[in-house]
Amino acid sequence: MKDQISDTDLELEYRKRFSVPEGDIISDSATAAKHFTAVIGDRITERECFVIMLLNGRNQLIHTEVLFEGTLTCSVVYPREIVRLAIKENAAAVLVGHNHPSGNKIESSDDRAITEKIKKALDAVDIKNFHDHIIVVPGGDFISFADKGLI
């Protein structure tokens, strides 16, 4: 009988290989998108997951967390929870990302609205470096609000 690898072990190995280790510098949207995709893992086609990535003053990754999980087509996001975690982790910069299980990488009006709410909430507590909001889709494609000039 062959040894089998569990789904959990397989997902952990995938995350280890393709996510960005804490301490590494996040220098572009492609690196951030790959990290978000690895963190979301096999849920990328199942339900929306909203992820936060926190950086220090040198843009080194200090923390990543899936903050909210929703349904196939939406996720409820609370900006105050993003602010709370950023303050707790002493973050100098924030990136957020979520997936569109449908494969449609175009940002919705709700995506634009929550991005603006997050920016205002972070500004209110003097976290001025809201670097990006990235939408990832199955297959590895993504869009960056910063690259599109929306942040």
Instruction: Look at the alpha carbons of 50, 94, 36, 103 in this order and tell me if their dihedral is positive or negative.
Output: positive
Residue with tokens 């086609």: 45
pLDDT per residue over 43-54, tens digit each?
888 899 999 999
Q: Give yes or no for a contact between 117 and 103, defined as CB atoms under 8 angstroms apart.
A: no
More confident residue, 24 or 128: 128
DSSP state of 129: E
| Residue 118, number of CB atoms within 10 A of its CB | 23
pLDDT for residue 68 is more than 70 = yes
* Domains in the chain with CATH codes: 35-144 (3.40.140.10)
The residue length of the chain stands at 151
